[in-house]
Copies of this chain bind each other. A is one copy, B any other.
Amino acid sequence: MGRSGRATINDVAERAGVSKTAVSKVLNGTGSISPATRARVLQAARDLRWQPSAHAVALRRARSQTVALVLNGHDGPPSVSVTTAELITGIETTLSSRGYGLLLHLVDESRDGEADIYRQLVDAGRVDGAILTDSVVGDHRPALLRELGLPAVLVGTPEAGDPVPHVRTDPRPAIDQAVEHLASLGHRRLGFIGGPRDRVQAMLRREAFEASVRAHGLELSAVVSTAYSGEASARATREVLRGPTPPTALLYGNDTMAIAGIKAARDLGLRTPQDLSVIGAEGLPVGAWIDPPLTTVQRQVVLRGQVAAQLMLRELGIEVPELDWSGDEELLVRGSTAPPPPGS
């Protein structure tokens, strides 16, 4: 046993009375080894509690068995949201089931650095691939990573013609469900207060909403793109509701925005759902407990993370069973939607 306390392949080889090549072969299942020898080696490894050094393997194989998840605080310092957290859950469980590690990096793009972060990760050989989230319009990251030769998977929708593997969530079915739901309740004038203009997913949801409203022959009363925050949403909601022909129902970019919208409406004397119907998007647990319980578009973000990790593993040449991914969004009807007030 080495002086550092950790066993090495040599210790195992010595204990099993074979060469270290034999140990390596047993471990990796390469070459040919007799069952008896294999058993002795495995026993010795167990006895010594030996695991191959991740760094030695990484050095020799030029493979680090690690994937980076780079979270980008597009504007301002980055932080980890609930959704991101669920995504992490899905990614990590899948990766670790295949022996891969997840290295987390938060970068503040506004302070330039992001390109350098990727370069450093690649040049230092710390990771075999990177998973990207929150694509923005004009996103340069897929191209950068391709140039650097680092496999990448995007959680979100790439821009047209960008061949990066991705987990795309088509927002249209769920938005259609939501619009359908509102139409069947009798709403005619709908509004949309979603995420910022530079976010691809926010724009797709917005376009899906506009298309769906038109397809249902309804009136597009207001469409706003703003920050993903309660404050921004409350401000936008006040403006929209004070307009000449205010909507009787509003779709929001996430649950916090929706709940802030309910409050903004209440401050203007409008009750939810009697005077204004509201639909969120996210599926926060807390949505079930507020008054009224929030009708929302629920996302299976954990599953999305799992699919992203599987795509990554496939990019790295690992065979993984195909997970079917037919989109992960679904309308969850609770209490914040109702027929519009009579005469509206």
Contacts and interface: CB of A to CB of B under 8 A. Distances in A.
Interface string A52-67: 1111101100101010
A285 B256 contact: yes
Contacts of A229: 285
Interface stretch (A19-27, A103-111, A318-326): A103-111
A101 to B, nearest CB: 5
Contacts of A54: 64, 124-126
Nearest to A293: B263
Contact of A6 (B56, B64, B123, B290): B123
A10 interface: no
A286 B230 contact: yes
A89 to B, nearest CB: 5
A179 interface: no
Q: Classify chain A: how many residues form its interface, as a range.
A: 35 or more
Nearest to A77: B93
Contacts of A124: 51-54
A119 interface: yes
Contacts of A291: 262-263, 266, 290-291
Interface of A: 4-7, 49-56, 58-59, 62, 64, 66, 77-82, 84-86, 88-89, 92-93, 96, 101-106, 119-120, 122-126, 149, 229-230, 234, 255-256, 259-260, 262-263, 266, 284-286, 288-291, 302
In the A-B complex, the 6 residue pairs with the smallest Cβ-Cβ separation, listed nearest first, are: A80-B85, A51-B123, A55-B58, A260-B289, A85-B85, A54-B124
